[in-house]
Amino acid sequence: MKNTKQRSVILSIINNSNNHLDAYEIYDMAKREINNISLGTVYRNLSLLTSLGKIMKITCENHADRFDGQTIPHAHFECKSCGC
């Protein structure tokens, strides 16, 4: 599979973040580097990177999926008050 500029930028954003970003946050950051990137491109690449095991998708009930560049098993916590 060919490594595109969009995919490299998205992966770099996730790997260099100290937070678990959602797709919109990744999209906003990617637009700073690639002006014409679309939200659809971000979603497609997040799906591909997840399926390739390059990133981890964190699904929380009633909240947007988040993405983590650390793929080794580790715990995630969800606040019972605010859901974050």
Q: Indicate whether 81 pLDDT > 90.
A: no
Q: What is the pLDDT of residue 52?
A: 95
Question: 75 or 68, which is more confident?
Answer: 68
Helix, strand, coil share of the chain (percent; to 5): 40, 10, 50
Q: Which strands form 21-22's sheet, in the order they lie side by side?
A: 21-22, 66-68, 56-58
Q: What is the pLDDT of residue 83?
A: 64
Lowest-pLDDT range, 3-7, 23-27, 45-49?
3-7
Q: Indicate whether 7 pLDDT > 80.
A: yes
Q: What is the pLDDT of residue 84?
A: 65
> Residue 67: what are its φ and ψ, rounded to 5°?
-130, 140
Across the range 19-34, mean pLDDT stands at 95
